[in-house]
A = this chain, B = another copy of it.
Amino acid sequence: MSTKQVYLDNAASTPVDKRVLKEILPFFGEKYGNASSVHSSGREGMEAIQKAREKIAKAINAEPEEIIFTSSGTESNNLLIKGFARAGLEKEKHILTQKTEHDAVLHPIEELAKQGFETRVLEVDREGFFQMEEFEKEAGRAGLASIMHANNEIGTIYPIKKIGKICREKGTVFHTDAVQTVGKEKINVKKMKIDALSASAHKFYGPKGAGFLYLKEGIKIEGLMSGGGQERKLRPGTYNTQGIVGMGKALEIANKEMNNAKEKEKKMQKELAKRLMEIDDSWINGPKIGSKRLANNLSAGFEYVEGEAMLIKLDDYGIAASTGSACSSDSLKASHVLLGIGLRPRRAHGTLRFSLGKQNNIQDVKYVGEKMKKVVGELRNISPLKKGVIK
């Protein structure tokens, strides 16, 4: 095993910030009361939860009562999409979405389609964008539109503000899966006219097992579960106090340090892109570097070689990266996002995602660039498609 370790899989999960860990440690061994309990220990938990709620609301310019705590981004997406449909979406009204959404948006919508709801999935271009005129036309017939803020595989940032405006005008409820942007991009749900938003703490240096759904006041949904009275009965179950507190703290930190982190990531992104593109027959997926895309994401493809094989070779050099999305790595099928932007399956299989985080530095990406040349070269040597060619 390599002694140098470079983790470039921050889109899959991030380490918990030390300051976050410090804040949550007391909730394991001292302040362990059930936050719904009447006694001091419980009230202490509830106060900490309410503070986290306020921090989170503030970070996206929502009201504290508009935040519903969940266990993950997946749960937030399911809660909103299924919950809104079940709460009485008229069957003649569409659910509108687009091709590059995460499975945690697409699959719930497919489930609803099977139950008789009308759904519409917009096609996208090579950069991952759908046609805004098409969206506008469809939005009129839609009861719910779910468009992610930024794509987890190729980094495309969607024009959320424009989409929010259209939806508000058409009376369409607008949900955005912001799992990849909360804490990374500025979000103002009021200005952006967002009605519902999903986030997951472990993507912004918070703990795993905590997420939230912002739901604009007045929008009715049904819960996925029923039981106790927590979260206005929309999400019952004993509060995950340490998870919630950690999420609040993590988002507060991330928002404060957002601009710095982004600047640093942009530099690394540019450097990494440059070095990877020195490899013959390689390309970048998603919008051009420097345009409408996440600063921490770089999806790059390499002809004649396969992703998992590259990953394992990188791993031997201490480098962590991913193929499509970690979430679907159990499946052998090429990523629906990469196929969606028009890649042929073999090219989709030759794609890697590098995702930067605040633990990385410019030396890291230089190291990755160097090792990638070796890895691609070695694998091309054994590939029947082409002999190894490095510029």
Contact = CB atoms under 8 A, between A and B. Distances in A.
A229 B322 contact: no
Contacts of A159: none
A175 to B, nearest CB: 15
Interface string A52-86: 00000000000000000001111101100000000
A389 interface: no
Which residue, A225, A229, A243, A308, has most C-beta atoms of chain B within 10 A? A225
Interface string A317-331: 001111101111111
A171 interface: no
A12 interface: yes
Interface residues of A, number: 76
Contacts of A239: 208
Nearest to A311: B38
Nearest to A202: B238
Which residue, A200, A208, A240, A321, has most C-beta atoms of chain B within 10 A? A208
A364 to B, nearest CB: 14
Interface in A222-243: 224-230, 236-243
Given A16-B32, A36-B329, A103-B236, A227 B41 contact: no
Given A226-B78, A228-B104, A72 B237 contact: yes
Contacts of A28: 15-16, 21, 207
Given A209-B242, A242-B207, A225 B21 contact: no
Given A74-B225, A227-B102, A229-B330, A33 B208 contact: no
B330 A36 contact: yes
A75 B253 CA distance: 30
Contacts of A37: 9, 12-13, 320, 322, 326, 329
Nearest to A11: B34
A280 interface: no
A388 to B, nearest CB: 22
A39 interface: yes
A111 B226 contact: yes
A40 interface: yes
Contact of A327 (B104, B229, B321): B229
A314 to B, nearest CB: 7
A186 B210 CA distance: 31
A391 interface: no
A52 to B, nearest CB: 14
A88 interface: no
Contacts of A108: 225-227
B21 A33 contact: no
Contacts of A77: 227
Interface in A318-367: 319-323, 325-331
A237 B74 contact: yes
**Closest 3 A-B residue pairs measured CB to CB?**
A104-B227, A209-B240, A228-B327
Interface of A: 1, 7, 9, 12-16, 18, 21, 27-30, 32-34, 36-42, 71-75, 77-78, 102-104, 107-108, 110-111, 200, 202, 207-210, 224-230, 236-243, 308, 311-312, 314-315, 319-323, 325-331
